[in-house]
Amino acid sequence: MKDKFLNITHADIDGAACSILLRKFYGAENVEIVPIAFSNADKACTQAIEKWSDKYKAVFITDIYPSPEIAAKFDNSNIYMFDHHDSGIPSSKHCTILSNKEYSAALVVASKVNGIKNLTKDMKSLVFLTTDYDSYQLTDERSRQLNLLYFGKYTFDQYVDRFTDGFDGFTNSEKTYIKGVEKQIVQLKKQVPDKMWCWNLGGFKVSACTVYDHMNDITDHMFELEPYTDIALVLRIDKRRGSLRLRPTDKNDIKKDIGFDMQKYVETVIKAQGGGHEFSGGFSWDVKDEFEGIPNFLLDFRKWNAKLGKDNFYNIKVKV
């Protein structure tokens, strides 16, 4: 396999776009893909160093990042990282980090590997829509619709195959699917007022609801219903498992790395399975395990960060 490349990438539309770009540059038959969740980044990158780097011509890490200690080991290897998150990892020959809030990892790969000017019109469209969605700019409705396809109609591999030549519009089948999902979202939004409640916790307002699907659309609606909401939560609890996802508003000076810190907190303090992105975070837990409730969790999370000299909820310090 020394003539092939390996791409370890985040399992979302940004990570998928990175894989598409790498396959376009090196040839689809020459790039093998391993999509992973953020919570598996350290494990996957360690395996890349200890196991996979000897088997491939090069290993590309895209749209995820490991701990700085692990990333430092890339310098003496054939492993290269392309990312857009503010991870604290310095840029180097092996780590290209462009932590701009208007960037996506796909834009980083397109700029540093493919060359923007060398992309076709359709490939540029895919990079633009991916960046528009992943950076939360959402200036083009098609970027949100593309994400609906990724998380509903296609698997990761199917999505990569479908848009292997870029984005040239939606097929009739895709348009029908999107229209159906949009109708579902309208119906879900109607349920929110009856399944939503609010807390005032230590100077910030939290709104929560149990309408769990289509988080971004539901939390957008929650912010519309309660304009002074600082943090929106969506919850799902059944007989065996509970899940929580959090998203901060963009109207206040809330730090964008709240999702990453939540991941660290739930994994190191409450020993649950967590995940995080710059603008959102969450975790799952076994219902049989002891869990004191959402208000205590949020306050404890905030106090934990304060001890580290951080306050994710506001840049202006509020007593916790």
Q: Is the dihedral of CA 261, 265, 267, 268 positive or negative?
A: positive
> Quick one: pLDDT at residue 180?
97
Percent of the chain with pLDDT over 70: 85
> Quick one: pLDDT at residue 315?
40
- Of residues 259 and 111, the one with the higher pLDDT is 111
**CB-based contacts of 195: which residues, under 8 Å, 6+ apart?**
209, 210, 211
Which of the four pLDDT bands, split at 50, 70 and 90, describes residue 296?
confident
Q: Are 44 and 34 in contact (CB under 8 A)?
A: yes
> Quick one: pLDDT at residue 311?
56
Q: Is the confidence at residue 197, as pLDDT, over 70?
A: yes
> Quick one: pLDDT at residue 14?
96
DSSP 130: H
Mean pLDDT in residue range 100-121:
91
**CB-based contacts of 295: which residues, under 8 Å, 6+ apart?**
199, 201, 206
Please state, in angstroms and as integers, the Cα–Cα distance from residue 288 to each residue in 134, 240, 285, 291, 297, following that order: 35, 7, 8, 9, 17
Q: Are 303 and 296 in contact (CB under 8 A)?
A: no
Mean pLDDT in residue range 285-309:
68
> Quick one: pLDDT at residue 147?
94
Q: Which CATH class is domain 5-170?
A: alpha beta
Q: Is the confidence at residue 126, as pLDDT, over 70?
A: yes
Q: How does pLDDT run across 127-157, given as a tens digit for each residue? A: 999 999 988 788 999 999 999 999 999 999 9
* Amino acid identity at 267: E
- Per domain, the residue ranges of the chain are 5-170, 191-307
* Amino acid identity at 4: K
The two counts, helices (H) then strands (E), for the chain are 11, 11
Q: How does pLDDT run across 33-42, given as a tens digit for each residue? A: 999 987 788 8
Q: Is the confidence at residue 318, as pLDDT, over 50?
A: no
In the CATH hierarchy, which fold is given to the domain comprising 191-307? Diaminopimelate Epimerase; Chain A, domain 1 (3.10.310)
The pTM (predicted TM-score) of the whole model is: 0.82
DSSP the chain: -TTSEEEEEESSHHHHHHHHHHHHHH-GGGEEEEEE-GGGHHHHHHHIIIIITTTSSEEEEES----HHHHGGGGGTTEEEEE-S--SPPP-SSEEE---TT--HHHHHIIIII-GGGS-HHHHHHHHHHHHHHTT---SHHHHHHHHIIIII--HHHHHHHTTT------HHHHHHHHHHHHHHHHHHHHGGGGEEEEEETTEEEEEES--SSHHHHHHHHHHHSTT-SEEEEEEE-SSEEEEEEEE-SSS---TTHHHHHHHHHHHTS--EEEEETTEEEEEEETTS----HHHHHHHHHHHHHHTT--TT-SS----
> Quick one: pLDDT at residue 205?
82
Q: Is the confidence at residue 298, as pLDDT, over 50?
A: yes
User: Considering only 76-80, 83-87, 291-295, which range has the smallest mean pLDDT?
Assistant: 291-295
> Quick one: pLDDT at residue 251?
62
Mean pLDDT in residue range 173-179:
97
- Of residues 222 and 319, the one with the higher pLDDT is 222
Q: How does pLDDT run across 206-254, given as a tens digit for each residue? A: 888 888 888 888 998 999 998 888 888 888 877 677 787 888 877 655 5
Largest separation between any pair of C-alpha atoms in the chain: 58
Mean pLDDT in residue range 189-203:
85
Core vs surface per residue 124-141: b (16+ CB within 10 A) or e: ebbbbbbbbbbbbeeeee
Mean pLDDT of the chain: 85
Q: Is the confidence at residue 314, as pLDDT, over 50?
A: no
